[in-house]
Amino acid sequence: MSRYELSRTELAPLLTGAPSYRVDQLWDGLYRQLVEPEQVTALPRDLRARLGSEPLLAPALHVEAVRHADDGETVKWAVGLADGSRVETVLMHHPRHSTACVSSQAGCAMACSFCATGQAGYTRQLTVGEIVEQVVLAARAARDAGRRLDHVVFMGMGEPLANYERVLASVRRIVGDIGIGARRVTISTVGVVPGIRRLAAEPLQVNLAVSLHAANDRLRNDLVPLGRRYPIAALMDACADYVAATHRRVSFEWALIRSVNDRDADADELARLARALGAHVNLIPLNPTPGAVDLGLVGTDAGGVRAFRARLERHGVNVTVRRTRGRAIDAACGQLAARATSTAPS
């Protein structure tokens, strides 16, 4: 149990003897003021002291290391969990907004060949409290830097749609309690078709990103093993139903790999899929990871990225080229592996 796991109803018994509005004050302290239970100044001192030592309100995360890159605009935390597992959380500041990239699982079972998390294997599902507390960690740090966290992306470690219930419960807290707009929350999936279909039926306006990376099954199955279970046609069907049900736009993530998925023919094939769905395409040159290096996979160079983008645009596709943030600290897409770092206590 941890402070961001408990519902309001579950918090009430911890405040026995106190009037019921104290629950709201504690809730407000945790989710709006983002402070420690003993720092909720609306509560009487003795109650705060009691809450401060309440085991059920203990934090779920212990920061083991913090690293900065991009002139402080990117921050990565290695956080330890109660059972000794470790995940990573990233905060990225942009000129007008700040984004937290949160993990949904310790490790990942999807085994994408080029992704460091996938190569390290799966440990376990994260709890609601562990997911929400990552957002709080990032929101506090943003505030301390004079910024405001206003976007959350489930693009850290793990496959969010393989931890569906807990991810959705944490989205409800992030939106309903922390107050980040649902339209500023993005769930990214490797292509878990049943999860996309479930998400389409939720009364939530979150964004869906699909890590496509290849527009034909032969290549995709090489890069993304889950493709064998959910071929591109089934994935595109689910996305089309998602768009029809939610009226939200889907985006495709495409890590550009030199001579693998960055040729003209790849752009043409991708454009067909994107146009059929009105999908937005996010391009990013592949970041180096041990698995990618072993397979001889390298990121497309800047000129190649520009040409690929231009070709998609000529096909009428909306494209964004993503900056590779946090590469220097292994915080960029696909690099999160939560390895022990020299600054971590033993």
Binding site for ligand SAH (CB under 6 A): 110, 112, 114-115, 155, 159, 188-190, 211, 253, 255, 284, 286-287, 289, 292, 333-334
- Nearer of residues 98 and 211 to ligand SAH, judged by Cβ: 211
Q: State the chain's maximal CA–CA distance in angstroms.
A: 69
Is 36 a catalytic site residue? no
- The answer to whether residue 333 is catalytic is yes
CA distances in angstroms from 124 to 71, 102, 145, 170, listed in the order given:
33, 15, 32, 16
Could you tell me the smallest distance in angstroms from the CB atom of residue 246 to ligand SAH?
A: 18
Q: What is the DSSP letter of 12?
A: G
Burial 9-34 (b: 16+ CB within 10 A, else e): eebeebbeebeeebbebbbebbbeeb
Smallest separation (angstroms) from ligand SAH to the CB of 57:
30
Q: Which residue is at the shortest CB distance from ligand SAH?
A: 334
Query: In terms of DSSP H, where are the helices of 123-231?
Result: 128-144, 164-173, 193-200, 217-223
| Contact of 136 with 177, CB cutoff 8 Å | no
Q: Which is nearer to ligand SAH, 99 or 189 (CB)?
A: 189
Residue from 101, 108, 115, 333 carrying the catalytic annotation? 333
Q: Name beta bridge partners: 325.
A: none
Catalytic residue among 5, 88, 130, 253: 88
Least separation, in Å, of the C-beta of 102 and ligand SAH? 10
For residue 40, what is the enclosing H or E element? none
Give me the least distance between CB of 160 and ligand SAH, in Å please. 6
Output 98 or 300, the one with its CB closest to ligand SAH. 300
Nearer to ligand SAH, 261 or 289 (CB): 289
Q: With respect to ligand SAH, which residue has the nearer C-beta, 25 or 335?
A: 335
- Least separation in angstroms between CB 150 and ligand SAH: 19
Give dist(CA 19, CA 26) in Å, integer.
12
Tell me which residues are annotated as active site.
Answer: 88, 333
